[in-house]
Amino acid sequence: MRIAVIGAGNVGATLGTAWSAAGHQVTYGVRKPDPANTAERTVGEAAVGAEVVVLATPWPAVDDAVAACGELTGKVLVDCTNPLLPGLAGLELGTTTSGVEKVARLAPGAKAVKAFNTVGFNVMANPVFDGQPVSMLYCGDDPAAKATVRQLISDCGFEPVDAGPLKQARLLEPFALLWISMAMQYGYSRDIAFRFVRR
C-alpha cells in the first residue's frame, strides 16, 4: 500500500517504520523535506501519491496539515491526533463531537478513520505484552476504509478492534487521555496498554 505519513515525529516515524518493515511504501510529508532523505516529501507531494494518508501532527497543526495535503477525495485518512489542551489539561473537543469529525469536515471527500491515538508511540513500536498483542481500537463510517486500517493495525502488531462508526471517536479521544494521564501523571509510566477481551 502507498502510505503518506504527515508528520515524522514520535508517532509518524514509529508507524512509518513498522509499515515499511511490513512491505508498504511509506513517504513522510514534512514541512522541510531533507533532500538527503529519499522518504521525505512536502506534505502535498506525499499525499498526492498515496492511497492512505496518516495524520500524525500536533493537534494545533491539523488545519494547516490537511490544507497542505491538497485533494484527499477518495483516500483513506487515518487520524492519529488527539485534541489535547496545553499541559494535558483536557481536550479541546469531546463527547459531543471529536477531533476526527473536525478533520473529516476539513477533508470532506476523504474516508476518515480514527486509529492509533489511544496508546503511546512506544507501545506502537512494540505492541506485544506478555507474549500477546494489545488492542488498537479504531472507528469510522466507511467499511472499505476501515478494512484497510484494520490491516494496517495488524501490520504494526496490534489486535485491531472495531469500535463502531466515526462518532465513537467522541469516546476514543477521551480514552486516549486516560492512557496519557495514567502514563504521565499517575505513576504507571509509558509501558502500559489495554487489551480488549470478550466471551
Ligand X SMILES: NC(=O)c1ccc[n+]([C@@H]2O[C@H](COP(=O)([O-])OP(=O)(O)OC[C@H]3O[C@@H](n4cnc5c(N)ncnc54)[C@H](OP(=O)(O)O)[C@@H]3O)[C@@H](O)[C@H]2O)c1
- Would you say 121 or 194 has its CB closer to ligand X? 121
3-state secondary structure of 103: helix
Contact 143/137 with Cβ under 8 angstroms? no
Residues 76-95 that bind ligand X (CB under 6 A): 80-82, 84
- Would you say 9 or 144 has its CB closer to ligand X? 9
Q: Total residues at the site for ligand X (CB under 6 A)? A: 25
Instruction: Encode 130-158: b = buried (16+ Cβ within 10 Å), e = exposed.
Output: eeebbbbbbbbebeebbebbbebbebbbb
- Using Cβ positions, the residue closest to ligand X within the complex turns out to be 9
| x-marked contacts with ligand X along 17-36 as a string, rule CB under 6 A | -------------xx-----
- Tell me if 43 contacts ligand X by CB under 6 A: yes
CA proximity to 55, closest of 65, 64, 46, 45: 65
| x-marked contacts with ligand X along 59-78 as a string, rule CB under 6 A | x-x--xx--x----------
Instruction: Specify the DSSP element, H or E, that contains 19.
Output: helix 10-21
Whole-number Å distance between alpha carbons of 135 and 137? 6
Contact 119/134 with Cβ under 8 angstroms? yes
- Tell me if 152 contacts ligand X by CB under 6 A: no
Binding segment toward ligand X, per CB under 6 A, in 15-23, 57-65, 70-78, 154-162: 57-65
Positions touching ligand X (CB under 6 A) are 6-12, 30-31, 43, 56-59, 61, 64-65, 68, 80-82, 84, 117, 120-121
